[in-house]
Amino acid sequence: MKILEKMETFIVLAECSSFTETAKRLFCSQPTISNHIQHLEELFKTTLFLRTGKSVQLTKQGEVLLEYAKQMTFLVEEAAIKIKKVSQQDSVLSVYVSNYIAGYFFSDILSHFHTEFPKQLLEIYTYCYDDLVRCLREGRTNVAFMPIYQEDEYIRSQYDITVLFEDDFPLILPIDHAWSSRKVLYCRDLHNETILLPQSPYLQQYITKQVEKQHVKVRFLQMSNFEMIKQAVKSKLGIAFLPYTTVINDIKHGGLQARSVSSLNLTRTNGFAVRKNTKLTPAETAFCQDVERYFLTSRNSLLL
Q: Which residues, at least 6 apart from 120, have a Cβ–Cβ distance to it below 8 Å?
A: 93, 113, 114, 283, 286, 287
**Percentage of the chain exceeding pLDDT 90:** 82
The pLDDT confidence band at residue 67, using thresholds 50, 70 and 90, is very high
pLDDT above 90: residue 69: yes
Name the CA dihedral angle for 245, 249, 252, 257, rounded to a multiple of 10 degrees: -60
Average pLDDT, the chain: 91
pLDDT given for residue 102 in this prediction: 95
Length of the chain: 304
Asked if 146 and 270 touch (Cβ cutoff 8 Å), the reply is: yes
Three-state DSSP class for residue 119: coil
pLDDT given for residue 87 in this prediction: 59
Half-sphere exposure of 133 toward its Cβ, with a 13 Å CA cutoff?
A: 14
Q: For residue range 134-191, what is the model confidence (pLDDT) as tens digits?
A: 999 999 999 999 999 988 999 999 999 999 999 999 999 999 999 999 999 999 999 9
pLDDT above 80: residue 86: no
Distance in angstroms (rounded) separating the CA atoms of residues 286 and 113:
9
Mean pLDDT along residues 254-259: 94
